[in-house]
Amino acid sequence: MIEYRQISKTFDDGTQAVREFDLTIPSRTTTVFVGSSGCGKTTLLRMVNRMVDPSVGQVLIDDEDVATRNKVELRRSIGYVMQHAGLLPHRTVVDNVATVLRLNGVGKTQAHERALEVLTTVGLEESHARRYPSQLSGGQQQRVGVARGLAADPNILLMDEPFGAVDPIVREELQGELQRLQRELDKTIVFVTHDIDEAFALGDQIVILKKGGEIAQVGAPADILAAPADDFVRSFVGLDKATRTLRVEERDGRSLVVDGNGRATGVLA
Amino acid sequence: MTWAWENRELVLELFWRHAWLSAIPVVVGGLLAVPVGWFSHRNPRLRGGVLALVSLLYTVPSLPLLVILPLVIGTGFLSPLNVLIALTIYAVAIMARTANDAFGSVSPAVLDAARATGYAPARLAFTVELPLAGPVLLAGLRVVSVSTVSLVSIGALIGVSSLGSLFTDGYQRDFTTEIVVGIVATVVLALLFDAVLVLLGRLAMPWARSQRSVTPTQGRWAAFFTRGGVSAGGDAL
pLDDT score at B211? 55
Q: Is B237 on the interface with A (CB under 8 A)?
A: yes
One-letter identity of residue B107 = S
Q: Domain-by-domain residue ranges, chain B?
A: 2-196
> Per the CB < 8 Å rule, is B212 touching A134?
yes
Task: Give me the phi and psi of A35, to 5 degrees please.
Answer: 175, 170
Average pLDDT across chain A, whole number: 93
pLDDT in tens, A168-188: 898 999 999 999 999 999 999
Q: Which residue of B120, B128, B235 is in closest CB contact with A72?
A: B120
Q: Whole-angstrom Cα distance, residue A105 to residue A234?
A: 50
Smallest CA-to-CA distance from A90 within B199, B226, B236, B209 is with B209
Contacts of residue A90, defined as CB under 8 A and 6 or more positions apart, other chains included, come to A132, B128, B131, B132, B134, B205, B207, B208
Residues of chain B contacting A87 with CB distance shorter than 8 Å: 110, 113
Task: Return residues 30-89 of B near A (CB < 8 Å).
Answer: none
3-state DSSP helix/strand/coil percent for chain A, to nearest 5? 40, 30, 35
Q: Whole-angstrom Cα distance, residue B237 to residue B227?
A: 23
Residues of chain A contacting B212 with CB distance shorter than 8 Å: 134
pLDDT score at B35? 95
Smallest CA-to-CA distance from A93 within A119, A114, A113, A111 is with A119
Residues of chain B contacting A131 with CB distance shorter than 8 Å: 210
pLDDT in tens, B97-133: 999 999 999 999 999 999 999 999 999 999 999 999 9
CA distance to A226, A242, A254, B217, per residue, from A262 (Å): 22, 9, 16, 52
Q: Kindly tell me if the per-residue pLDDT of B233 is higher than 70.
A: no
Residues of chain B contacting A103 with CB distance shorter than 8 Å: 117-119, 123
Beta bridge partners of A31: A190, A205
In total, the C-beta contacts within 8 angstroms joining chain A to chain B are: 80
Beta bridge partners of A218: A207
pLDDT in tens, A76-127: 999 999 988 889 999 999 999 999 999 999 999 999 999 999 999 998 998 9
Maximal C-alpha separation, chain B: 68
pLDDT score at B156? 87
pLDDT in tens, B53-94: 888 888 888 888 888 888 888 887 778 888 899 999 999 999
Q: Does B228 or B77 have the greater pLDDT score?
A: B77
Q: Kindly tell me if the per-residue pLDDT of B222 is higher than 90.
A: no
DSSP string covering B102-120: HHHTS-HHHHHHHHHHT--
Strands in A11-105 per DSSP E: 16-25, 30-34, 56-61, 64-65, 78-82
Q: Which residue of A75, A86, A100 is in closest CB contact with B109?
A: A86
Q: Domain-by-domain residue ranges, chain A?
A: 2-240, 241-269
> Per the CB < 8 Å rule, is B117 touching A51?
no
Maximal C-alpha separation, chain A: 65
CATH (residue range A2-240): 3.40.50.300
| Burial (Cβ within 10 Å: 0-12, 13-18, ≥19) of residue B211 | buried
CATH (residue range B2-196): 1.10.3720.10
End-to-end, the C-alpha distance of chain B in Å comes to: 56
3-state DSSP helix/strand/coil percent for chain B, to nearest 5? 80, 0, 20
Q: Whole-angstrom Cα distance, residue B69 to residue B89?
A: 11
Residues of chain A contacting B117 with CB distance shorter than 8 Å: 75-76, 80, 99-100, 103, 148
Interface predicted TM-score (ipTM) of this complex, two decimals: 0.88
Selected for mutation to probe chain A from B117, B138, B215 (highest A CB count within 10 Å) is B117
